[in-house]
Structure 1
Amino acid sequence: MNVGNLFPIGTVVTVKDANKSMMIIGVLPENDGKRYDYIAVLYPEGYLTEKQIYLFNHDDVVKVEYLGYMNAEYQVFRQDLEQIMKEVDAEKK
């Protein structure tokens, strides 16, 4: 996954095999040793319980319904994240 392609927080998407839209609330979460591209909650409900949090990858997105906010601060975050992920991937080799 190219970090530069990650959707920003607040993006609302439709995901394969999902009955409802989801809003991205975080990027690159890990669960049971596996890294995902996104963590999301149902839209428009938002966070209700920890059992209603969804993990998925960029390839699972079939439609972007709303693109989240991106400003200069987000661009810096994305650049920093890209560097961090390169270092993490290099350590795994």
Structure 2
Amino acid sequence: MSQDIHNTDSLLPVGSVVILKGLDQTIMIYGRMQRQLGKSTLWDYVGCPYPQGFLSEDYNIFFNHNQVYQTLFKGYETETELELREKLVEKFKQ
């Protein structure tokens, strides 16, 4: 099944901290290619408020790469992270 993924070539690693367009709260990415429980939309990221961290599912923020206004911190990148990102991009571009 083909998905409409936004700018997957630039997926940020888990742990990245961003500011979203139109949102004052700083967000930390803790998941990629995520769906909200009970919804069919596939989002590029799920994040939580930073510096508070995960509070509950009520505070999850689902968003796409094109909604990122500014990257304040880019998460840790290892060879494993780069391989996983490549697999995610390939899987969701089909």
Question: TM-score with structure 2 length normalisation?
Answer: 0.85
Q: Does 1:79 align with 2:81?
A: no
**Rounded Cα–Cα distance in structure 1 between residues aligned with 2:64 and 2:93:** 18
Count of aligned positions: 87
Larger radius of gyration: 1
1:14 corresponding residue in structure 2: 19
1:90 corresponding residue in structure 2: none
Q: Which AA in structure 1 matches 2:81?
A: Y
By how many angstroms is 1:40 displaced?
Answer: 0.1
Bigger relative contact order, structure 1 or 2 (CA pairs below 8 A, ≥6 apart): 2
Aligned-residue Cα RMSD (Å) equals 1.1
Identity of aligned residues (%): 30
2:56 corresponding residue in structure 1: 49
Question: TM-score with structure 1 length normalisation?
Answer: 0.86
Q: Does 1:62 align with 2:69?
A: yes
Q: Deviations over 1:29-83 (max 9, x none)?
A: 1231111111000000000111000001111111100000111011111121122
Question: Of residues 8, 33, 36 in structure 2, which corresponds to 1:3?
Answer: 8
**Rounded Cα–Cα distance in structure 2 between residues aligned with 1:58 and 1:25:** 14
Which of structure 1's runs of 4+ aligned residues deviate more than 6 A?
none
Q: Which has the higher helix share?
A: 1
Structure 1: gaps (5+ residues): 88-93
**Rounded Cα–Cα distance in structure 1 between residues aligned with 2:8 and 2:27:** 20
1:28 corresponding residue in structure 2: 33
